[in-house]
């Protein structure tokens, strides 16, 4: 389209077949909480995740809590859901409260919204795993 170059700045070209760098071992060196390795091991049984982003996207789709994304922050896990229906809120609060506080994110008038919560302790991780129906020893 004529004139597009005036408005759009091209991103640099990515190499074809660029190798994805990073491993979960390297990613774990960037976080500092006691249950991080255990959480990675449990989540990797479901999907490989993205160690370079320290995240598991679109995990637990078939769980009672629904599809979610889990990000490994420096000192905690940050979990996002993409369903902000009243039923989703009720299920989340029934399964996670009072151990885990659930908040909403985004604009409830659009599809870009849901619920979010942090997991900061081993107790909260165990409670979350029970909430999603994970069977781990």
Instruction: Indicate yes or no: pTM above 0.85.
Output: no
Whether 87 contacts 47, CB under 8 Å: no
65-93: per-residue pLDDT in tens?
Answer: 989 999 999 999 999 998 888 899 999 99
Q: How far is CA 22 from CA 14, 28, 50, 53, 56, in A?
A: 17, 11, 9, 9, 14
pLDDT at position 5, please?
54
Assess whether pLDDT exceeds 90 at residue 56.
yes
Whether 71 contacts 55, CB under 8 Å: yes
Q: How far is CA 110 from the centre of its chain?
A: 20
108-122: per-residue pLDDT in tens?
Answer: 777 788 999 999 999
Length of the chain: 137
Q: What is the mean pLDDT of residues 42-61?
A: 95
Largest CA distance in the chain: 61
**Unique residue bearing structure tokens 């506080």:** 101
Assess whether pLDDT exceeds 90 at residue 15.
no
Assess whether pLDDT exceeds 90 at residue 131.
yes
29-51: per-residue pLDDT in tens?
Answer: 999 999 999 999 999 999 999 99
pLDDT at position 11, please?
62
pLDDT at position 125, please?
97
d(CA 101, CA 98): 7
Q: Which of the four pLDDT bands, split at 50, 70 and 90, describes residue 18?
A: very low
Q: What is the average pLDDT value for the chain, to the nearest integer?
A: 87
């Amino acid at each position: 389209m004529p004139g597009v170059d005036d408005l759009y700045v091209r991103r640099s070209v990515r190499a074809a077949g660029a190798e994805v760098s990073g491993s979960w071992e390297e990613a774990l060196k960037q976080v500092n909480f006691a249950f991080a390795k255990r959480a990675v091991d449990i989540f990797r049984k479901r999907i490989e995740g993205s160690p370079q982003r320290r995240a598991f996207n679109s995990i637990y789709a078939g769980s009672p809590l629904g599809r979610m994304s889990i990000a490994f922050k420096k000192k905690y896990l940050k979990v996002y859901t993409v369903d902000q229906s009243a039923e989703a809120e009720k299920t989340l609060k029934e399964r996670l409260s009072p151990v885990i506080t659930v908040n909403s994110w985004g604009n409830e008038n659009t599809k870009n919204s849901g619920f979010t919560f942090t997991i900061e302790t081993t107790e909260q991780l165990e409670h979350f795993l029970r909430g999603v129906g994970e069977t781990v020893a």
